Every structure is written in C-alpha cells, then in structure tokens.
C-alpha cells in the first residue's frame, strides 16, 4: 500500500466508529501532536476511548500538562458537541475515572465496559484489559517498577526518533523493538490475548477490543476476533470501523517537515505491526 497524504488527498475520513487507547496524556512521551492531526482528519459517529487516556500515575510523580494535552481534550469535547457519541472506558493509569460509571462529562460518557455492535452484526466486548494483567492486579510495586523501565525505553525512543528524522529515515520504535526481544514479554502478549479472547466468549461476544499492552493487532483467536488498539506513545495506532463493519488498523507517523496524516507502507510500520490490517 503506497503512503497517501491525508491532508492533501483525503482531508477527512468518515467512519462509523473509532477506537483509541493508551494516549497517556501527562506523560512526556504522549504523541499529542500526532493524535491531534489524526483527529482532524477522522470523523466518527462513535469514538470509544479504551483506557489510559490520562496518565494519572505519571501526573502523581511529576505534573506535566502542556497546552497540547488541553488541545486533545478540547478536540474530543468539540467532537462530542458536534454529535459524536464518545465513550470513555478507564484503564489502570486513569483508574480514578472508574469511580464515575454512567456519568457524563461534557458529553463524554464513562463506562466500565461496553458491548459494541458492529455494522456487520458482530458483537465486540470493549474493555481496557488491565484486569487480565497479573502484574498490575497482584503486584502493584512491580507494575510501577516496570512503568519506570518503560519510561527509560521511551526516553531513548524520543532521542532515536529525532536522529532518524534528521537523517530522513522513517519512524521506528525502539521501545517496541526492545519489548519484543524479551521472550517473557512475547509470551505474556500471547497469553494476554488468549485470556481476553476467552472473556469475550464468556460474554457471548464474537470479538474483543482492548488496549493496555501497547501491541496493536487484529487477529482471530479460536473464532474470536481479537483487536488491540495499540497506543499513542509508540506506534500511534487506532482502530477504525467502516460503515460495512470492516475493522481497520491504522497508524500515524511524522514526516520530515511536519506532522502529516498518512496510511503507512509496510516498511514504515513499527516492529510491533507486521502490516496494515483490515478484517
């Protein structure tokens, strides 16, 4: 698939549903400029925020809330005012929102989970997924240590991305690569996917849409469609549902000279993504 400039050839893509997770507003690694550009070029009847939109863990350690974070929030509120239904499913980093199920904030409704009915009749269980992460559930101290190590990998990622950009090289995620070099991490991802898919089966859903592990993918696991939205600190990915029910995994990246909306080629995708996917 050749790269296509969204701002030049397709200014606004109209979608049935848009799924976004793991933005981590408040983290220095959050790609707020990329996300804002993405939101400018995509409109959806429903936008589902699949957790870790705000990074409460990092904000507790050190307050970091630049104007770009406000811009993302205002952009979402503006979309809600214009008629988009926006559902916020909290994750572990924004778990403070779990105290407000059913509450609306400026047109954004909070829900612990959501059952999404696709245009093709397929039902998807939508949840963040941290409840299936044994480390987060049973060893919070280890989870925080892992979060610190992840911050270090992201810091390296930012510096490396800047160098590659100056050299005219495409975006590549060091943190994603490093994560997948660890056999335990690869095994964890596989087990996580199986457990989450089984949860969907228990709820008589044909698919599941989640975030949490920052590993974007669309695949079938024992007849359950497993979809992970990825994140906006590494791969900058989202899931789009078209009006025929087709699910598309799309990634956003920075081009030299500015942030430009693009559907990437296979070579430009971070290591965690094998290819553009639709199902």
**3 state DSSP class of 90:** coil
Q: 242, 232 in Cβ contact below 8 A?
A: no
Q: Span 262-276, mean pLDDT?
A: 32
> In the prediction, which pLDDT does 190 show?
77
Element (H, E) at 202: helix 183-202
Per-residue pLDDT tens for 186-232? 456 778 899 999 999 999 999 999 999 888 999 999 999 999 999 99
CB count in 10 Å sphere of residue 51: 29
Give the domains, in start order, of the chain with CATH numbers.
13-251 (3.60.21.10)
Is the pLDDT assigned to residue 272 strictly greater than 50? no
> In the prediction, which pLDDT does 151 show?
65
CB count in 10 Å sphere of residue 30: 26
Of 44-53, 154-163, 242-251, the one with minimum mean pLDDT is: 154-163
Whole-angstrom CA distances from 45 to 55, 82, 208, 223 are 26, 10, 20, 28
Is the pLDDT assigned to residue 108 strictly greater than 90? yes
What is the share, in percent, of the chain residues with pLDDT greater than 70?
71
Is the pLDDT assigned to residue 154 strictly greater than 50? yes
**3 state DSSP class of 108:** strand
Taken in order 52, 56, 62, 67, the sign of the CA dihedral is positive
Element (H, E) at 65: none
Per-residue pLDDT tens for 247-258? 999 998 743 233
Phi, psi of 226 (to 5 degrees): -95, 125
Q: pTM, whole model, 2 decimals?
A: 0.75
> In the prediction, which pLDDT does 136 show?
44
């Amino acid at each position: 698939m050749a790269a296509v400039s969204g701002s030049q050839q397709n200014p606004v893509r109209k979608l049935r549903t848009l799924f976004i997770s793991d933005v981590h507003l408040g983290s220095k690694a959050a790609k707020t400029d990329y996300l804002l550009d993405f939101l400018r070029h995509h409109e959806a009847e429903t936008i589902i925020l699949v957790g870790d939109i705000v990074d409460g863990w990092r904000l507790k350690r050190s307050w970091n809330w630049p104007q770009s974070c406000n811009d993302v929030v205002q952009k979402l509120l503006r979309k809600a005012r214009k008629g988009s239904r926006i559902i916020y499913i909290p994750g572990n980093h924004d778990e403070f929102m779990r105290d407000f199920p059913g509450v609306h904030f400026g047109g954004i409704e909070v829900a612990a989970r959501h059952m999404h009915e696709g245009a093709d009749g397929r039902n998807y269980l939508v949840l963040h997924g941290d409840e299936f992460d044994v480390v987060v559930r049973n060893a919070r101290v280890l989870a925080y240590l892992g979060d610190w190590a992840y911050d270090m990998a992201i810091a390296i990622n930012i510096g490396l991305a800047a160098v590659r950009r100056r050299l005219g090289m495409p975006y590549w995620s060091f943190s994603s690569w490093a994560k997948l070099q660890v056999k335990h991490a690869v095994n964890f991802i596989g087990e996580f996917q199986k457990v989450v898919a089984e949860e969907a089966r228990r709820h008589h859903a044909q698919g599941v849409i989640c975030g949490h592990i920052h590993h974007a993918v669309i695949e079938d696991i024992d007849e359950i469609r497993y979809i992970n939205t990825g994140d906006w600190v590494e791969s900058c990915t989202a899931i789009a549902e078209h009006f025929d029910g087709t699910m598309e995994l799309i990634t956003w990246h920075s081009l030299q000279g500015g942030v430009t909306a693009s559907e990437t080629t296979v070579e430009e995708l971070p290591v965690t993504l094998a290819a553009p996917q639709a199902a």
